[in-house]
């Protein structure tokens, strides 16, 4: 499995079979460059413009934007787990879906715009091998809450996402450094994460993936 950061909370996950999944595609209003990546499946955690621009992805045949278990291919499933975009049960910003991909013996969780501490029901998806977690705060959980979520999910690898960068500098969210400052050592930045069930112990605890240029 190969995971690449497109930008913001959008990632390209490519399986050994060639199946390609894009998470939470954004539109140009985010400030990030729009890359018209080709994929088979698009996931949408909620309907905001920075997470639901499926029209920017080429070739997809499945858009997954609802809870429940969805079969993408033999032995490849994607589960939508309901959550909220805020700490008021959606009263501020509505619902959010956590997506759990199970493929190649790995469990990968993309938390979308999670805006509250995980509930016991949501923690039931643990343990996960890779967790993509928002860390910027304001619209989502913040850095400290993200670390707690990683612990609750027993995540082997954490990929931080949804933080302030040069592209969205006017947004009221925190930069990546607020998250990495809480770590025992600064994580290495990578162009991609290549991971298999057999090499999990060799993977970094935190993987910061550079957005596509």
pLDDT tens digits along 125-138: 999 999 999 999 99
Residue 53's domain comprises: 2-205
pLDDT bin (cut points 50, 70, 90) of residue 213 is confident
Residues 126, 154 contacting (CB under 8 angstroms):
yes
pLDDT tens figures, 110-127: 999 999 999 999 999 999
Tally the domains of the chain: 1
pLDDT confidence band for 86 (50 / 70 / 90): very high
Tens digits of residue pLDDT in 146-187: 999 999 999 999 999 999 999 999 999 999 999 999 999 999
In the prediction, which pLDDT does 188 show? 86
Q: b/e string for 23-57 if b means 16 or more Cβ within 10 A?
A: bbbbbeebbbebbebebbbbbbbbebebbbbbebb
- 190 confidence band (pLDDT: 50, 70, 90): very high
Residue 17 covered by a domain? yes
Q: pLDDT grade, residue 39 (50/70/90)?
A: very high
> For 142-156, what is each residue's pLDDT tens digit?
999 999 999 999 999
The verdict on residue 154 lying in a domain is yes
The reply to whether 211 falls in a domain is no
- As a whole number, mean pLDDT of residues 61-82 equals 98
CATH number at residue 44: 3.60.15.10
Chain-wide mean pLDDT for the chain? 97
């Amino acid at each position: 499995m190969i995971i690449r950061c497109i930008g913001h909370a959008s990632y390209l996950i490519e399986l050994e079979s060639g199946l390609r999944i894009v998470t939470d595609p954004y539109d140009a209003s985010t400030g990030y460059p729009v890359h018209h990546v080709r994929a088979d499946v698009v996931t949408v955690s909620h309907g905001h413009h920075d997470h639901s621009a499926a029209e920017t992805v080429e070739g997809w045949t499945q858009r997954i934007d609802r809870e429940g278990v969805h079969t993408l291919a033999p032995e490849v499933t994607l589960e939508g787990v309901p959550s909220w975009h805020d700490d008021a049960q959606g009263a501020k910003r509505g619902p959010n879906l956590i997506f759990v991909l199970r493929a190649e013996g790995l469990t990968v969780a993309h938390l979308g715009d999670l805006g509250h501490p995980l509930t016991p029901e949501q923690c039931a998806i643990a343990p996960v091998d890779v967790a993509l977690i928002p860390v910027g705060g304001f619209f989502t959980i913040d850095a400290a809450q993200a670390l707690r979520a990683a612990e609750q999910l027993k995540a082997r690898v954490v990929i931080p996402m949804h933080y302030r960068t040069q592209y969205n500098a006017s947004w009221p969210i925190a930069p990546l450094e607020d998250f990495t400052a809480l770590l025992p050592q600064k994580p290495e930045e990578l162009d991609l994460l290549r991971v298999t069930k057999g090499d999990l112990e060799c993977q970094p605890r935190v993987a910061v993936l550079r957005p596509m240029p």
